[in-house]
A = this chain, B = another copy of it.
Amino acid sequence: MSDAERTPVSRRRLFGMAGAGAALVGVGAAAGIGIDKVNDGSPAQAATTTVDFHGVHQAGIVTPTQQNLHFAALDVTTTDKGKLVQLLRAWTDAARRMTAGQEVVPGGAVDGAPTAPPGDTGEALDLPGSALTLTIGFGTSLFDDRFGLKAKRPAQLVDLPLFPKDKLDPERSGGDLCIQACANDPQVAVHAVRNLVRLGFGVTEVRWSQLGFGRSSSTSRAQLTPRNLFGFKDGTNNIKAEDTDILRDQVWATAADGQPWMAGGSYLIARRIRMHIETWDRETLDGQQQIIGRTKGSGAALGQTAEFDPIDLHVHGQGGDPIIPVDSHVRLASDETLNGAKILRRGYNFVDGSDGVGHLEAGLFFLAFNRDTRKQYIPMQNALSSSDAMMEYVQHTGSAHFAVPPGVSDTGYWGDGLFT
């Protein structure tokens, strides 16, 4: 029996009452736009749906996960802070339009001067809104000497440690900035990233970029829990948009956390997790279920009968061993095991062609938001990397950490609190 199993704790313990009870501050708070304006994100969601860009928080965090992702990490190639701010303003204007289902500039794709490059690249011209959300973040490296931002680096935005068994590719890691585009049409997500990248010409360039599909975790109780490429339901116990108390405790940063410009923001961890699906597929059903700690069909935790039955880590089987094994994924990732820590996962499945040795280059592009990566993601990943039976089948090949600023007011721009 593990220590964690013996010591159930309240998730409230993690931050204590000061943090947990602190009110949100920040531009746009009065607008009251946040989780109450999200859409249902299910496959039946109307293609014409749009998600409001403005609000206390950026859209694309608790917004019910759309079906497709294009995520890009960019490096800033100028040392001119003014140019960076100018770009963030331009990006915000473009994002306002694109998330409303419009071109980057009015008539941009086809009605501009014929002797100038079009203001919009055009491939989304005939496509509906598709619930596009655009969410940006500032990477750890942005807070180096170049832009004088060192004093504004949040303590929560640590350099992630190298976890046991990490095999990180520098070309799939890091980045000064990130853009997360989610939509129910991949072409709409790609169009948005491409046009923001284009606006950044001379200021930023793409460092790495990842497409994903299949919503490996749901973020709303209105959504069915999707399945990852191990074939298991993923995100049953995820923080959901409806969990306002937990979101306040564990996702949204506050001014009291140390950097007032981050109030209403969050911290995003991106991890490219290669999954050795061919090896996994040769594991028995029983073995797979023991590794995950859940039943493959229903998604119920072992020892329970339905997907959303609460996990009970203390049930023992006939031989005296816990029914949910000590090295199973759900036990190690459980908030009960982790001193109450939870994270909001928002990852996507991916297949990036094949790996050159006969297998599919497949996996999970893990995206998670939390309030303090030091207290939430890092302890969780340390536990998983060290002990999770699933580690035999996965390998972390990319890693990045971003401070995701709060939402934007009608007249503001992305990250304005950091630069003003």
- Measured CB to CB, the residues of A under 8 A from B are 43-44, 47, 67-68, 70, 72, 109-118, 120-126, 171, 185-187, 190, 193-194, 197-198, 201, 205-211, 213-214, 224, 226-232, 277-278, 281-286, 288-289, 295-297, 349, 351-354, 356, 358-362
Contact = CB atoms under 8 A, between A and B. Distances in A.
Given A190-B351, A353-B210, A126 B286 contact: no
A115 B286 contact: yes
Contacts of A224: 126
B210 A111 contact: no
B110 A354 contact: no
Question: By DSSP majority rule, is chain A's interface helix, strand, loop, or mixed?
Answer: loop
Contacts of A229: 121, 123, 190, 194
Contacts of A362: 190, 194
Contact of A123 (B125, B210, B228, B356): B228
B117 A209 contact: no
A206 B404 CA distance: 39
Contacts of A213: 68, 186-187, 190
Nearest to A227: B123
Contacts of A277: 121, 194
Nearest to A297: B110
Nearest to A290: B114
A117 B297 contact: no
A72 B354 contact: yes
Q: This chain: how many copies in the complex?
A: 2
Nearest to A184: B43
A109 B299 CA distance: 12
A369 to B, nearest CB: 22
Contacts of A295: 110
A206 B359 contact: yes
12 contacts: A43-B47, A68-B186, A115-B284, A116-B284, A117-B282, A121-B231, A122-B232, A123-B230, A198-B278, A205-B359, A207-B354, A208-B353
B285 A353 contact: no
B207 A117 contact: no
Question: Of A44, A171, A194, which is in contact with the most chain B CB atoms at under 10 Å from its CB?
Answer: A194
Contact of A208 (B281, B349, B354): B354
Given A228-B123, A354-B208, A118 B288 contact: yes
A291 to B, nearest CB: 13
Nearest to A43: B47
Nearest to A70: B351
Contacts of A123: 214, 227-231, 349
Nearest to A349: B187
B281 A117 contact: yes
Given A117-B284, A227-B126, A231-B121, A209 B354 contact: yes
A365 to B, nearest CB: 11
A38 B109 CA distance: 33
